Structure 1
Amino acid sequence: MAQYSASIITIGDEILIGQIVDSNSAWLADYLFHAGFEVKEIRSISDQPEHIQQTLDDAIATTDLVLLTGGLGPTNDDRTKFALNAYFNGEMVLNESVLDDIKAFIVKKRGYLKLIENNKAQALVSDKATVLRNPIGTAPIQMFNKSGTLIVSMPGVPFEMKHVFEHKVMAELHKHFVLEAHAYRTFHVVGYPESELANKLEQWENDLPESLELAYLPSPGVIRLRLKDQVNHTHNINVQAKKLYEILGSQIIAEGKEKVEFTLGKILKDNNKTISVAESCTGGLLGHRITSVAGASAYLKGGITAYSNEAKEKQLGVNSATLEKHGAVSEAVAKEMAIGAAKAFNTNYAISTTGIAGPDGGTETKPVGTVWIGFYLEGEVYAQSFLFTHDRMVNMERTATVAMYNMIDWLRKS
């Protein structure tokens, strides 16, 4: 089976000056990998025509597929389609079907038709392109072919790009390429720093068959291990996966692309159990993550964000003497917060978070990044301490992630 290569090019000065983060490339790279492509490079470039054309030269010379996003809007600084048309020596023509789509889109959005010149301009396409219509926006997709390489230009707005790629572009890719998904499995491991995990798995990793490739993918609170077979033999992966489970056991919390909040929700739902949260340092992020899963109302009864000591006392029933003796960031307070949440919402389980998210507020005994997470488990109460980084947002994300992973671990042991 052929191995196809791909390049991803995101276009826009707003990316290069840091005004927006390029999330399109990460999403596309992940999708392409799962579809069976090998992504050779990702580039973010300016919208200058000569830069677009030079980058196309490089990409077409080395890859089978080139995906471009951005620069297809209705304003004068959206230059991608004109640069592509010039590159392929075409003529810009008005596509009546695209114009009809634009009119329908405007009526749906506004309730009436008011067409301005910028709207009409979006119906201009290259006569060298195969045009795919955009069902949720005004910028059509254009496809070109040169020297056996397929070039696809898509809108840069992330939700639009994702929709047209999944519902329009992938069907075209299946026409042009004989795709076979990569054989791989991904394991979510908790409880180890990356270096310790690598040391524990050293012998197992050394004994892997030559066709297997292991990658460590660390993220806040969890390390994902991706085991991929270069020749797509799933049997080899499954044999080694069994050995990996024998080594790590319950430290493997989940597999695949499944998010931790989905795994937690599934366990709760399958066992007809409920949970609540009491948050200080995460400021509602933990509850937000849990409720991001459709159907979370079946198991999450509610949450309390108690940032001040007064709120911890009044809303969660934390004892003032506990706060005075141990401080808000402590094992005792984390436990009382978890108990308070479970009582307030009458739930089987509860999670609490209290810590020093940073970048300031730390002390010698409780430096920035110190976090206590409490767990209420049908009458039993536990708390664990962690020391994270000096970055506030990273600490909040990591605390929420670790809290859910550790709750899963507790539930599987109970």
Structure 2
Amino acid sequence: MPSALPDGDVAPPDGALPAQALEGLGRRPFGVYVHVPFCATRCGYCDFNTYTAAELASSRASPRSWLDGLRTELALAASVLGTPPPADTVFVGGGTPSLLGADGLRDVLNAVRDTLGLAPDAEVTTESNPESTGPAFFEGIREAGYTRISLGMQSAAPHVLTVLDRNHTPGRATEAAREARRAGFDHVNLDLIYGTPGEKEADLAASLDAVLDAGVDHVSAYALIVEEGTALARRIARGVLPAPDDDVLADRYEQVDRALSAVGLHWYEVSNWATEPKAWCRHNLGYWHGADWWGAGPGAHSHVGGVRWWNVKHPARYAATLAEGISPAAARETLTPQDRHLERVMLELRLVDGLPVEVLSEAAQKEAHQAAEEGLLDRDALAGVNGRFGRCVLTFKGRLLADAVVRRLT
């Protein structure tokens, strides 16, 4: 959840949505995102809306006031949506949700269940920092109803973790993944970051070996992005560290894809690999397919029927606003057809199934065929079969240049 909020239109104090946004609600997948804004320490590369205890010491913000606000916002969501569809997916992110402990995460899920409801087969994910987990934690949240765990590993190399200001012991992330599996979680994800200054090919290879040894069914791997205003950005600006190199990032991506594919973890989104479709993150698929979701918590973003809004950032203001009976939305926007088309191309093109070619303009379809000639899109997928329209599916080369392909198709 990035810390900077965009500009937008004034959001109504009661959180009401226009009637057209509510049309079709329930016929589209519906998810709930819960943002936990608390962290024990601040990682040097992180630009998310998070706060340490020291940063909140002068305010009245606390996990308890945040949870009270969360319950109030979820009740508001139920009221705004009328007869809300039960959530198909819930994703508790942050920040560090595992700092709430198993009991705190149980309270979070109960708040969703009591206000919006859960579909019988709902996917329920929480992010966790390996250092704030253990066997009892995993057993507790599994019993509470969580079905999926996402653990922040980033790297197995101590010097890489030091550059990232990651405060966990190498090896703890993979041990936490094993503990989660022993607690009954079928779906466990490990997050990696590649391209950190000072990371060598051998460092990433060791990280990948550790991930594979943990036996997880899902891996997310992201190129390091240097966000303005972070400690990492300041160190690079001073020349203390070199900036990530695009050619090196491409080499690292190829290394990740090759290692994961060799053992049956196949890409289904540019930065995500899984053993089989049932291991895919359904919540994130909702984002990529433009579904509906309510984002609850400080700085959280929501989208329903083409209307997008985002909450105030600070936990103290978030809780105080809700205590006054006012929506915490800071601003919102109504997406135009052009906006929605652009986002569809940007997001669906990143998926293994790609984008239907017929949604593109005639000029963009010509660009798609030219991109296929250049090896950026799969020729066979674009051609279609049995008279059916084809799809724009990225090749490996296309994945490396996905942003450039999007620009050509829009």
TM-score (norm 1): 0.25
The higher radius of gyration belongs to 1
TM-score (norm 2): 0.25
Structure with greater proportional strand content: 1
Of structures 1 and 2, the one with the larger relative CO (CA 8 A, separation 6+) is 2
